Amino acid sequence: MKLIITEVGLRDGIQNDAVFVPTADKIRLIQQLFDAGVRSVEATSFVSPQAVPQLVDAEDVIRGLRKPAGASVSALAPNVRGAHRAIRAGVDELVVFLSASESHNRKNVNRAVSDSLKGIEEIAELAAAHSVKVRGAIATAFGCPFEGDVPPQVVAGIARAFRAAGVTHLTLGDTTGMGTPAIVRRVCGEVLSAVSDAALSLHFHNTRGMAMVNVAEGLALGIAEYESSIAGIGGCPFAPGATGNICTEDMVNYLHECGHETGIDVARLTGVALEMERLLGRTLPGQLMRAGPRSRLHPMDSVRTAAAQPTA
């Protein structure tokens, strides 16, 4: 299957990071992602600079990019003001979001889900007037840290509301890594039958080690679009110290091993992950960047021979 990978590390990954990544480095990392074959990048968020100082340079990042043919650059637009800024800066796609659970939506944006939807309708109209695409992200689609399981019908209802607002590209987000393959099957099944003409992306977090098996479940359902974060950057505010976003190079490596196509060069992607690690100055969760590809063999004399006791 030909798959589309959206890199979200420069937004979802670094937005809560204590280390400020300089604008020139953000632009350089995105160019390196393009060079590695990534064709969809969520580059920043047009939030208030006071709220997220890490993304204070949203305009400069978007304007500084040299996009290869066929590439799409998206940015989060949390409100109409942010949407105006993103459109002026020249994004190809706006990402609008809400949570499937009322309590998470209140905690996240201090609004009822219905109020978030009204704001999204307004942004969708604005985007349509400027021929800019919109992606609707539904957070906590596979579980809410305050309410537990979110009924699949609730997620499907929100998907229908997005569709009614003209949003035909949806992302289901596993914000705190509560998804399991069985839940992914139920929720995606319900959403796919509710909005059969919409394109669906999945955004998993590896908080409980389930991200890759959830991708496998998505693939089994025929879903062809996945979001991920280079080097696995991005934590989760509700589970301190826990791993956040699924790691892009680990996921792409897995997808290739399953025989799928992404158009991405894993070795170059791993190079970008190591560069991100250098910039943030600490060890990041990605695994392939530690172990190297499985094709990399080691000389036998590089490890000591075990004591002369035959093992079973």
- Catalytic residues, which ones? 236
Alpha-carbon distance values, 144 to 100, 204, 211, 238 (Å): 8, 14, 16, 10
Interacting stretch for Zn ion, rule CB under 5 A, among 40-48, 68-76, 156-164, 237-245? 237-245
Interacting stretch for Zn ion, rule CB under 5 A, among 34-42, 97-105, 137-145, 238-246? 238-246
245 scored as a contact of Zn ion (CB under 5 A): yes
Least separation in angstroms between CB 139 and Zn ion? 9
Please state, in angstroms and rounded to a whole number, the distance separating the CA atoms of residues 93 and 45. 12
Contact at 8 Å (CB) between 239 and 208?
no
Given the complex with Zn ion, which of 241 and 299 has the nearer CB atom? Answer: 241
Give, in degrees to the nearest 5, the angle at Cα 284 between 281 and 286.
Answer: 145
Q: How many residues bind Zn ion (CB under 5 A)?
A: 2
Given the complex with Zn ion, which of 12 and 57 has the nearer CB atom? Answer: 12
Q: Which two tokens stand for residue 186?
A: 């139920």
Q: How many residues does the chain have?
A: 312
Given the complex with Zn ion, which of 44 and 245 has the nearer CB atom? Answer: 245
Least separation in angstroms between CB 185 and Zn ion? 21
Least separation in angstroms between CB 228 and Zn ion? 9
DSSP three-state, residue 200: strand
Given the complex with Zn ion, which of 194 and 238 has the nearer CB atom? Answer: 238
Interacting stretch for Zn ion, rule CB under 5 A, among 57-65, 92-100, 129-137, 243-251? 243-251
Query: Tell me, what DSSP letter sits at residue 11?
Result: I
Taking 3-state DSSP, the helix, strand and coil percentages for the chain, each rounded to the nearest 5, stand at 45, 15, 40
Per the DSSP assignment, residues forming a β-bridge with 169 are 135, 199
12 scored as a contact of Zn ion (CB under 5 A): yes
Binding site for Zn ion (CB under 5 A): 12, 245
